[in-house]
């Protein structure tokens, strides 16, 4: 019987994930250029943000379609997401476009979930849930609306979308805590029963 081939860590899905991390400083440079409220630079920042966000969708699809799922990807992908959204939220708050409490709530959840993943890593990997993916998608749309230089009605759309993003952030954060505790308990039981 032959063993299944190991998936190399250096594959197209993981390269796309890492490219998202590389685009974070490029996005921030465009966001803060021209005093942070120049229309052309905001459009450039939006374009970089969209490209970086699309890599999140593409890398996951490639990993699933071609069997390129690795433990590295399971960990690096959400970290790249958090780096992009976190940088955008902090940048928007520094510019005065987004309330700091929104950034803090989202940042605390994202850092907490990352720490939970490392807390249970010896018992298993907690992959992104459907709720977590929906949260990321809504956050991306909300941030995109805030980055774009929109008229007054657009700001209402941005605020409503960000409100939904904050709600999903909190709900899915609680879900990750429950999943982490269960995974750790299962791991301890397995060790005790061995």
Q: Are 46 and 158 in contact (CB under 8 A)?
A: no
Residue 147: alpha-carbon gap to chain centroid: 17
Per-residue pLDDT at 5? 58
Give the Cα separation of 162 and 16 in Å (integer).
26
Q: Can you give the C-alpha Rg of the chain in angstroms?
A: 18
Sorted by where each begins, the domain ranges of the chain are 1-97, 98-193
C-alpha neighbours within 13 Å on the C-beta side of residue 177: 11
Per-residue pLDDT at 4? 45
pTM assigned to the model: 0.82
Positive/negative CA dihedral, 173, 179, 24, 12: negative
Q: Which residues of the chain have pLDDT under 50?
A: 1-4
Per-residue pLDDT at 51? 95
Give the Cα separation of 78 and 43 in Å (integer).
25
Per-residue pLDDT at 162? 97
pLDDT by residue (tens digit) across 70-97? Answer: 878 877 887 888 899 999 999 999 999 9
Per-residue pLDDT at 194? 62
């Amino acid at each position: 019987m032959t063993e299944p081939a190991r998936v190399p860590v250096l594959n197209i899905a993981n390269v796309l994930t890492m490219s998202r991390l590389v685009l974070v400083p490029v996005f921030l440079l465009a966001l803060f250029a021209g005093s942070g409220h120049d229309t052309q630079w905001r459009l450039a920042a939006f374009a970089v943000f969209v490209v970086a966000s699309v890599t999140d969708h593409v890398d996951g699809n490639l990993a699933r379609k071609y069997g390129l799922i690795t433990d590295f990807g399971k960990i690096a992908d959400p970290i790249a997401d958090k780096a992009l959204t976190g940088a955008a939220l902090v940048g928007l708050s520094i510019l005065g476009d987004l309330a700091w409490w929104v950034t803090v709530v989202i940042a605390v959840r994202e850092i907490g979930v990352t720490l939970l993943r490392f807390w249970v890593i010896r018992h298993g990997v907690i992959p992104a849930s459907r709720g977590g993916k929906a949260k990321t998608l809504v956050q991306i749309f909300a941030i995109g609306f805030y980055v774009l230089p929109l008229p007054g009605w657009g700001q209402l759309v941005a605020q409503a979308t960000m409100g939904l993003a904050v709600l999903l952030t909190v709900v899915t954060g609680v879900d990750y805590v429950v999943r982490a505790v269960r995974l750790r308990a299962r791991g301890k039981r397995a060790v005790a029963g061995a």
